[in-house]
Structure 1
Amino acid sequence: MNAMFDYLTGLAANNNREWYHAHKTEYQEANAQFEALVQELIFKIGETDGSILHNVPKDLTFRLVRDTRFSHDKSPYTPAFRAHIAAGGKQPVPVGYFLMIQPQSRSFLGGGLFADMFKDATSMIREYIYQHQEEFLSIVEEPEFVEHFEVRGNSLKNVPKEYPADCAVAKYLKHKSWFIEYPVEDSIFSDLPAFVDFASERFLQMKPFNDFINRALGGFTMPVRH
């Protein structure tokens, strides 16, 4: 997987359009390597979760080009390869298995809902957690889950007024997004089969959490861009 790491390291050090266009061949090689890795993960995860088997890797990956219109950081590219492997493709909903590869051990595996701009989705998940408190806590307090993950996401300062502030899931009701991440060291990428096995195991440990979030989002439709 050297092509990926070499390219991303170069892009991070030369985050400009001149370098990007001058290294198109290296990008194509690195991107092909990443898509091959995503395909291996689809096959491996699909042994347990068949809902993602229909996906084609190129439809699950994100562009390196950044939208800098509303960002203080005007760097034109994201020096990372990213993919969201889910039943509905790379859209945020339904939630699935997120992979980000970035050198200097900034890579991670993720699950849950990262986006917090969909107010309807936030409301649906919040209400579902409140109505299914015992089930939710059985997932996020399960020892193996606690060993590897922590529920993260942007949060309100207080529990929304329509919910009791002293309920068992109060801290989770503050959330506007609910996601989990598992950091990945660079060294594990030196052995592709080992990484695929490792990542698939972690992703499948996320599955009960993802399944809960997806049940909460039943009936949600992504907003249409005009």
Structure 2
Amino acid sequence: MISQSALDFIKEVAENNNREWFMDNKPLYEESRENMLEFTAALLTELGKTDPVIALADPKKALQRIYRDVRFSKDKSPYKDHWGIGLSSNPSKPDATGYYIHIKPQGSFVGGGYWQPTSEHIKAIRQEIDYNGAELKEIIDDKEFVKLFGDFRKQNQLKTLPKGYEADHPDISLLKLKDFIAMHDFKDAELVKPDSYKRIAGVLAKIYPLNQFLNNAIS
């Protein structure tokens, strides 16, 4: 599980986002990070039962650094205000489909799919929807999927028609999508339960068929 102290620490970081405070509290950081690594390892094992690729991931690489890259940012705060865990579902395309866990007091969520596909990939995904839209609709219209993630079609869409497709296409609402992601919020109380890694893995497992569809499209 995620310890209450790991949640409290990241909250403190948000309120004291400076190097002096961080260095004074470095032992708390190390303790919290160790807890997050243990949680990540348990999550990888559990999710790996559904998505075998995930079972091979390294927890230390999956748990993202707390240090921000401020080189090109107006916000020079040195530390992130959350714990992030990133998992690729396709090692050959690590920046494509996958899963993400965002741990932040009163702002935690998990998700997966493909955010901001490359122009080459979105073209391939739209072609797959054109040829095999029924498979995608079977995934995203499943009652459990809708209960967890809401209406998949109600996310970032083109304001105009995608090139090569007409307005009367039966799957035009899917073809106009710019992102292909599913997200689910978690409350703090859920995260600190002993089986929280199982609960999160169970939610992410429902995204596995979506990732498979997208991976087949771009492979």
Q: TM-score, normalised by structure 1?
A: 0.86
Cα distance in 2 between the residues matched to 1:158 and 1:75: 38
| Unpaired segments ≥5 residues, structure 1 | 219-226
Equivalent residue in structure 1 for 2:46, among 20, 44, 47: 44
- How large is the Cα RMSD of the aligned pairs? 2.0
Aligned counterpart, 2:33: 31
Equivalent residue in structure 1 for 2:94, among 77, 91, 94: 91
Aligned counterpart, 1:162: 164
Aligned counterpart, 2:123: 123
1:10-159 aligned at under 5 Å gives the runs 10-88=12-90, 91-93=94-96, 95-104=97-106, 106-114=107-115, 116=116, 118-150=118-150, 151=152, 153-159=155-161
Q: Can you list the C-alpha shifts for 1:162-214, whole angstroms capped at 9, x where unaligned?
A: 11122222122222221110000000122122x12211211111111111111
Cα distance in 2 between the residues matched to 1:136 and 1:88: 19
Which structure has more relative contact order (CA 8 Å, sep 6+)? It is 2
CA distance 1:203–1:117, shift in 2 (3 Å)? closer
8 A contact 2:83–2:103 mirrored in 1: yes
8 A contact 2:17–2:77 mirrored in 1: yes
CA distance 1:176–1:68, shift in 2 (3 Å)? farther
CA distance 1:109–1:118, shift in 2 (3 Å)? same
8 A contact 2:90–2:215 mirrored in 1: no
CA distance 1:96–1:142, shift in 2 (3 Å)? same
SS at match of 1:111: strand
| Unpaired segments ≥5 residues, structure 2 | none
Q: Can you list the C-alpha shifts for 1:105-155, whole angstroms capped at 9, x where unaligned?
A: x111101012x2622222222222222111111111111111111336533
CA distance 1:204–1:80, shift in 2 (3 Å)? same
Aligned counterpart, 2:203: 202
Equivalent residue in structure 2 for 1:183, among 185, 189, 198: 185
SS at match of 1:97: strand
SS at match of 2:46: helix
8 A contact 1:155–1:176 mirrored in 2: yes
Percent identical residues: 31
- The one-letter code matched in structure 2 to 1:10 is E
CA distance 1:91–1:80, shift in 2 (3 Å)? farther
Cα distance in 2 between the residues matched to 1:198 and 1:191: 9
